[in-house]
Amino acid sequence: MVEQASAWVESPLQMLCAVEAHHAGLLGPETAVVPRAGLRPLKATRKELRRLGLPEGLELAEPRERMPRRVQAVGDAFSGKVQLRWLTSNPGRIVIVDDGLATIRLLELLAAGPYRPLLRARAHPTALRAALGLAAALRLRLSKVSVFTALDVDKKLEDAVRRAGVDLVRHDFAWLRAQPPSAEGPAERTVVLGTSLVRNGLVHRDHYLRWLTDLASQEPVAYYPHRREDPVDVALIRERPGITVHDAGAPAELTLRGLDPGQRVLSLPSTAITSLRVLLSPRGVAVEPVDVPDDWWTSRAAPALRSHLTGVSG
């Protein structure tokens, strides 16, 4: 009897990339993708994926409050719950599926050596939390680890990751690209992806809203909010003339596959730019990063962080 692998996902992109990892053969012939309960974007993503022809052997399981006891694939390597599970179980091979910008942070830490705690950027951990992050890093060194990503990874970083014993597996959304679009895209020529930079305190709200207003004064705009965007900000954007807000819930990689040649996608720095270029460029859809002017950044956005954001989405 073939043992079913488990993938624990906590974001729409993680869910999509878990499906791609199964399709690529990283998780074995049978995989249950288990979403964390109580997250509306995951519910929408699960519903959208079920409309497609899922890869053979893959099950989109019912949402759960707790992680499976033994989990082979995760998206958030910085989660305290995930790290504790690694330490209290014997996962064998560990597959870490793409989670956007956090994936680059993880690769940098893995490349830096075994004594760099797995902690989020800009985190201010307690001594206990730092100890858990260090123990998790050491645990990975004793496991067979694969990082499954569609992001562009600098050659120098890629080489360092491989020297650290981590298998870096690249993908280009092969399964998703083979699926027909499940719905037409928006009628507007210009689509703007929402950002979490405002809510995270890295970009000034008034500058961002003014840019959207100016853009919509020139042409109609379809706006797809970021899943972590402040609902108050989304309500303000909804009131702007010329802007239609689409509450898709599912990730842009799924919802924007129906865009037509001549349409374009604009986004502030985001790893979604990379994945959307893979999916939409063959359709003649332009995916354009929007440079953040210096006066948009707040004092919380250190120069190194600004450079990092620009680098992963340029």
210-224 pLDDT, tens digit per residue, is 999 999 999 999 999
| Angle separating helix axes 127-141 and 80-88, nearest 10 degrees | 50
> Is residue 159 very low, low, confident or very high in pLDDT (cuts 50, 70, 90)?
very high
> Is residue 314 very low, low, confident or very high in pLDDT (cuts 50, 70, 90)?
low
The pLDDT of residue 304 is 79
How far apart are the C-alpha atoms of 4 and 46, rounded to whole Å?
19
Mean pLDDT score of the chain, rounded to an integer? 91
Query: Would you kindly state where each structural domain of the chain is located, as residue ranges?
Result: 5-178, 190-312
* Degrees, nearest 5: CA angle 269-253-29: 125
Mean pLDDT (whole number) for 143-161 = 93
Q: Scan for tokens 């979604």, then name that residue.
A: 272
How far apart are the C-alpha atoms of 185 and 168, rounded to whole Å?
33
Mean pLDDT (whole number) for 187-206 = 94
How far apart are the C-alpha atoms of 240 and 220, rounded to whole Å?
11
pTM above 0.85, yes or no: yes
Of 102, 37, 93, residue with least CA distance to 65: 37
Mean pLDDT (whole number) for 235-247 = 94
- Measured CA distances, 268 to 65, 145, 159, 239, 292 (Å): 33, 31, 29, 21, 7
> Do the Cβ atoms of 251 and 276 come closer than 8 Å?
no
Q: What are the φ/ψ torsions at residue 148 (nearest 5 degrees)?
A: -105, 110
pLDDT at 65 over 70: yes
> Is residue 155 very low, low, confident or very high in pLDDT (cuts 50, 70, 90)?
very high
Mean pLDDT (whole number) for 164-171 = 94
Of 63, 122, 128, 118, residue with least CA distance to 96: 118
Q: Scan for tokens 């000034």, then name that residue.
A: 204
The pLDDT of residue 99 is 81
From the number of C-beta atoms within 10 Å of its C-beta (0-12, 13-18, 19+), residue 134 rates as middle
Residue 73 pairs in a beta bridge with 7, 95
The pLDDT of residue 98 is 86
Mean pLDDT (whole number) for 6-12 = 93
pLDDT at 119 over 90: yes
- For residue range 68-112, what is the model confidence (pLDDT) as tens digits? 888 899 999 999 999 999 998 876 789 999 888 889 999 999 999
How far apart are the C-alpha atoms of 282 and 136, rounded to whole Å?
40
The pLDDT of residue 212 is 97
The pLDDT of residue 2 is 61
